[in-house]
Amino acid sequence: MNGPESACAPQAGRTAGPGACRPAAFRVRLARAEDLKALLVLYERARAFMAAAGNPGQWVNGYPGPDVLAAGIAAHCHYVLEDGAGALAASFCFAYGSAPEPSYGRIDGAWLRNGPYGVLHRIAAARPGAGAAGACIAWCWAHSGGDLRADTHEKNLPMQRTLEKAGFVRCGTIRLADGSPRWAYQKLARPAGPMV
């Protein structure tokens, strides 16, 4: 499905888990200014979850804070995932283009392919393990043109597992604008048939 507001489309033969979602279970839409308060609560809970899972250093000092979230909303790249009842299930940022993430221009390693790609950032689920992260990834994949990238902290084991289960491959390490290292992942569409 195209556009900023759509239900998740399942991948062939899959009904749940990373990389797939149930169409009636979740709906993605652009975040709005009135979502800001709920998003701040969601990200505070996500920071607590990461710290409890052994990753206290990824989102520090209240990141992402109100200014970062408001900028993403204004730029139309911040999304919310709602459950079947319309409640906030997750949030994420997604952008697509020839270079939507400047820090991906240099990598210690190598991307699987160069060219336009989609990028997934700041994914946070209201209930980790309930399939929301997989639904966010599935939506991003459907809008990525067959090339989706993401990065995460070396200690963010839950996100690493989620990306790998969704078909991502670790390509190396990138550095954020502040110099912090992040493990870089990429997922590519498989060729439709044998290469000739």
What pTM value is reported for the model?
Answer: 0.84
At 7 the pLDDT is 44
Average pLDDT over residues 167-180: 96
Q: How far is CA 75 from the centre of its chain?
A: 16
Average pLDDT over residues 156-174: 96
Give the residue extent of every domain in the chain: 6-188
At 6 the pLDDT is 44
CATH of 6-188, picked from 3.10.350.10, 2.130.10.30, 2.70.150.10, 3.40.630.30, is 3.40.630.30
Residue 10 has pLDDT above 70, yes or no: no
At 181 the pLDDT is 97
Q: Which of 12-16, 88-92, 188-192 has the highest mean pLDDT?
A: 88-92
For 32-36, 39-43, 112-116, 190-194, which range has the lowest pLDDT when averaged over its residues? 190-194
